[in-house]
A and B are shown apart, each in its own frame.
Chain A
Amino acid sequence: MTASNGESVSEDSAPERRMKEALGPELASDAVEASAAVAAGPSRGFIRPLLLAIAAIVVLQLVAFFVFPPYACEPGVTPCAPAHDPAQPFAFPGDAILANFEFPAPHAVIDLTPESPPSHDILTFDLTISSSLLTAWIVMALITALAFLLSRRVAVSPYRSQNALEYVYEGLANFATSLGGPGARRYVPIFVAFFLFILLSNWSGLLPFVGRTEQLRAPTSDVNVTIGLALVAFAMFHIEGVRALGFRGYFGKFFNLNGFKDGFGAGLIGLFVGVLEFLLEFVKPVTLSMRLFGNIYAGEIALGVISALTIFVIPVAMLGLEVLLNFMQALIFSVLALMFTLAAIERHDEHEQEEHGAVAHLPEGNIEPHIDQQAVTA
């Protein structure tokens, strides 16, 4: 449609015209845009980024294939070392599989005690800067640098960097408080720290060059790192338990002599159960560390073998699966660390009341009554 002065004017539909008449031009344009966005439905723009990501992974795999080509294994060396004779033929698939096996013990990048030879014992103490330790330092430096850089410009109306940081932190904080109620807010920083460190450590092992260079290795594929994380969590459970309940109150949960009031037999059973629970506390660091180590270590080897045996579609699918599984393992570790800490700080009688249903359960871990109940009782 053209105006009287010859300029073209866009035609408004009847609903838009009515909206403008009712709301005025400024509010009406916002309302029209909002309603158009709602009518258009959710954006379906994920297919193109997904295809681009798949193409990028395939290109990365090809680059890694040419930069770090497969090599024939030296006979007699376990699991596989590059053959000294360059003319030795590459035996597919045996050499491809063996080249991706790695020992659980990490490669020593810098040996701080070169005079002592490497030990083959299961438990050994040897001061080295290992590949997993080096990668762990890189991950820690990355997290610290990101947190520092993204928090430089802090304003009430946040910039993009602050927004990104707040989105990640508050998302994890809301998740933690949805699990543990308001009492979990105190432990949100350690929850976020565990989650981010383990997540980035897990994902670092999926980068092609980390898998193919001896100097870099996913930190959580090393049992030393996972045991370290589990011991930190274990120390936190008991230290927080003692802080919340006192030494006597906390260890009184395990070594409970109150059962003897009901008789010698009941007391003995109560004491036995308490001792059993105390021993089961020591199972927690083992389960936390071994689950994480087993998943990440085996996942790395499986991904390496699959990528060596096939080039295109299957390694991409395997990589996608590993990204998801590694995310879940980071989540499981941090969720369990949080849940065990909250269990450690609860009183023995609170726990018994919950078991026997004496405490009314408030919906979704909130401490305020549900809105409907408030309306009813008003």
Chain B
Amino acid sequence: MNEFGRLGAYLALFSEIAITLLVTTLVGVLAGYWLDQTLATLPIFVVVGLLLGFGGGGYGVYKLITRFLAQYE
């Protein structure tokens, strides 16, 4: 891969890492908030959703990085 291609790949990867963590955490929190509103258990499911969302996002980022390293390094 030439330098410009490598730069483009890195740019895309870093951008995707940040926004994946953000989106998954946000989805978890919103889902937890909705459950709390339904079951009147605020803030239990908000916290659970935050942790699950963050964990899921972290796993997604891990898969992204390992796939990237395997393919481009």
Cβ of B67: which chain A residues have Cβ within 8 Å of it?
A: 343, 351, 354-355
Using an 8 Å CB-CB cutoff, how does the interface string of B2-36 with A read, 1 for contact, 0 for none? 10110011011001100110011001000000000
Contact A335 B70 (CB under 8 A): no
Contact A332 B56 (CB under 8 A): no
Given A276-B59, A355-B66, do A179 and B8 touch, yes or no (CB 8 Å)?
yes
Cβ of A355: which chain B residues have Cβ within 8 Å of it?
A: 66-67, 70
- Asked if A228 lies at the interface with its beta carbon under 8 angstroms from chain B, I say no
**B23: which of A276, A277, A290, A354 is its contact (CB, 8 Å)?**
A290
Cβ of A283: which chain B residues have Cβ within 8 Å of it?
A: 20, 23-24, 27, 57, 60
- Asked if A182 lies at the interface with its beta carbon under 8 angstroms from chain B, I say no
Contact B5 A178 (CB under 8 A): yes
- Of B16, B20, B56, B66, which is in contact with the most chain A CB atoms at under 10 Å from its CB? B16
Cβ of A335: which chain B residues have Cβ within 8 Å of it?
A: 8-9, 11-12
Cβ of A361: which chain B residues have Cβ within 8 Å of it?
A: 73
- Give the complex CA separation of A339 and B5 in angstroms: 12
- Give the complex CA separation of A290 and B19 in angstroms: 9
Cβ of B70: which chain A residues have Cβ within 8 Å of it?
A: 351, 354-355
- Asked if B38 lies at the interface with its beta carbon under 8 angstroms from chain A, I say no
Determine the residue in chain A with the shortest Cβ distance to B17. Answer: A287
Cβ of B56: which chain A residues have Cβ within 8 Å of it?
A: 276, 279-280
**A339: which of B12, B23, B66, B73 is its contact (CB, 8 Å)?**
B12
- Give the complex CA separation of A365 and B5 in angstroms: 11
Using an 8 Å CB-CB cutoff, how does the interface string of B39-73 with A read, 1 for contact, 0 for none? 00000000000000000110110010011001101
Determine the residue in chain A with the shortest Cβ distance to B3. Answer: A178
- Give the complex CA separation of A339 and B11 in angstroms: 12
Contact B63 A277 (CB under 8 A): yes
| Smallest CB separation, A253 vs chain B (Å) | 12
Contact A287 B16 (CB under 8 A): yes
Cβ of B9: which chain A residues have Cβ within 8 Å of it?
A: 179, 335, 339
Cβ of B19: which chain A residues have Cβ within 8 Å of it?
A: 287, 290-291
Contact A332 B11 (CB under 8 A): yes
Determine the residue in chain B with the shortest Cβ distance to A338. Answer: B12
Determine the residue in chain B with the shortest Cβ distance to A177. Answer: B5
Contact A178 B63 (CB under 8 A): no
| Smallest CB separation, B6 vs chain A (Å) | 8
A-B contact count (CB 8 A): 68
- Give the complex CA separation of A290 and B20 in angstroms: 11
Determine the main DSSP class of B at the interface with A: helix
- Give the complex CA separation of A336 and B11 in angstroms: 10
Q: Count of chain A residues with Cβ under 8 Å from any Cβ of B?
A: 26
| Smallest CB separation, A46 vs chain B (Å) | 19
Determine the residue in chain B with the shortest Cβ distance to A291. Answer: B19
Cβ of A328: which chain B residues have Cβ within 8 Å of it?
A: 11
| Smallest CB separation, A364 vs chain B (Å) | 5
Using an 8 Å CB-CB cutoff, how does the interface string of A173-204 with B read, 1 for contact, 0 for none? 00100110000000000000000000000000
Cβ of A23: which chain B residues have Cβ within 8 Å of it?
A: none
- Asked if A331 lies at the interface with its beta carbon under 8 angstroms from chain B, I say yes
Cβ of B73: which chain A residues have Cβ within 8 Å of it?
A: 361
| Smallest CB separation, A106 vs chain B (Å) | 23
| Smallest CB separation, A347 vs chain B (Å) | 13
Contact residues of A between 156 and 183, Cβ < 8 Å to B: 175, 178-179
> Can you spell out 16 A-B residue pairs with CB atoms less than 8 angstroms apart?
A178-B5, A179-B1, A273-B59, A277-B63, A280-B59, A280-B63, A283-B57, A287-B16, A287-B19, A328-B11, A331-B12, A332-B12, A335-B9, A336-B15, A351-B70, A354-B70
The interface of chain B, by Cβ under 8 A from chain A, is: 1-2, 4-5, 8-9, 11-12, 15-16, 19-20, 23-24, 27, 56-57, 59-60, 63, 66-67, 70-71, 73
Contacts A178-B2, A179-B9, A335-B8 aside, 7 further interface pairs with beta carbons under 8 A come to A178-B1, A179-B1, A280-B56, A287-B20, A335-B11, A361-B73, A365-B1
Nearest 5 A-B pairs (CB), nearest first? Answer: A178-B5, A354-B70, A335-B12, A280-B60, A287-B19
The interface of chain A, by Cβ under 8 A from chain B, is: 175, 178-179, 273, 276-277, 279-280, 283, 286-287, 290-291, 328, 331-332, 335-336, 339, 343, 351, 354-355, 361, 364-365
